[in-house]
């Protein structure tokens, strides 16, 4: 159970928007994490360098925040490994199939007023809400 934190949510959201804006303004690229990652991994894309730097920054920013501020990093304990594996597989497969994830469709696609991304974002939100309900309240897994 977590509490509603509107201020940090807005600040964090603005930084994500700033990041997407910088990447488009400077490099002409869309800050969709699954797309950036997919293009880094498969042969055929000759533009791996910027992808690698972007993802390195993502890890650096995510880790650096806790290092610099001393805020305790959110480490969940006891969540079943089989569910982590299932969740990872479905998010990887689904984002590759939909050509985008929460950031590619949800942030950048909506910002570009793409109907395709609006359909994707609505679909993934509904599926996620239904799945969380099943996992937490029917299967009974929560931590």
Partner 1 sequence: MSLSRSLLQGASSLAAGTVFGLGLAIAQMTDPNKVLSFLDITGHWDASLLFVLGAAVILSAATFHIILRKPSPRFDSRFHLPQSALIDARLVTGAAIFGMGWGIAGYCPGPALASLGFGNSELFWLLAALLLGMALQAWLDRVSYPKARLDST
The residues in 84-123 that bind partner 1, with binding defined as CB under 8 A, are 84-117, 119-121, 123
Q: Is residue 40 near partner 1 by the rule CB under 8 A?
A: no
Q: Is residue 44 near partner 1 by the rule CB under 8 A?
A: yes
35 in Cβ contact with 41 (< 8 Å): no
Closest contact distance (angstroms) between CB of 108 and partner 1 is: 6
Closest contact distance (angstroms) between CB of 95 and partner 1 is: 5
Any idea what DSSP says for residue 46?
A: S
Out of 70, 127, 138, 140, the only residue in the binding site for partner 1 (CB under 8 A) is: 127
Closest contact distance (angstroms) between CB of 31 and partner 1 is: 6
Q: Is residue 25 near partner 1 by the rule CB under 8 A?
A: yes
Distance CA 66, CA 24 (A): 27
| Binding to partner 1 in span 58-87, by CB under 8 A | 58-67, 73-76, 79, 81, 83-87
14-45 burial, b at 16+ Cβ within 10 Å, e below that, comes to eeeeebbeebeeeeebbbbbbbbbbbbeeeee
Q: Is residue 24 near partner 1 by the rule CB under 8 A?
A: yes
Q: Is residue 125 near partner 1 by the rule CB under 8 A?
A: yes
How many CB atoms sit inside 10 A of residue 92's CB? 14
Any idea what DSSP says for residue 36?
A: H
Q: Is residue 19 near partner 1 by the rule CB under 8 A?
A: yes
Distance CA 81, CA 99 (A): 26
């Amino acid at each position: 159970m977590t509490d509603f934190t509107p201020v940090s949510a807005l600040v964090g959201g603005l930084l994500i928007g700033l990041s997407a804006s910088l990447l488009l303004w400077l490099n002409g690229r869309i800050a969709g994490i699954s797309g950036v990652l997919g293009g880094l991994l498969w042969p055929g894309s000759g533009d791996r360098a910027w992808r690698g730097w972007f993802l390195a920054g993502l890890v650096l920013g995510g880790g650096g925040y806790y290092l610099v501020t001393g805020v305790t990093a959110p480490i969940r304990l006891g969540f079943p490994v089989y569910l982590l594996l299932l969740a990872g597989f479905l998010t990887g497969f689904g984002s590759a199939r939909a050509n985008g994830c929460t950031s590619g469709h949800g942030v950048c696609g909506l910002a570009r007023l793409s109907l395709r991304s609006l359909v994707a974002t609505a679909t993934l939100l509904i599926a996620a809400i239904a799945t969380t309900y099943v996992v937490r309240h029917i299967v009974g897994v929560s931590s």
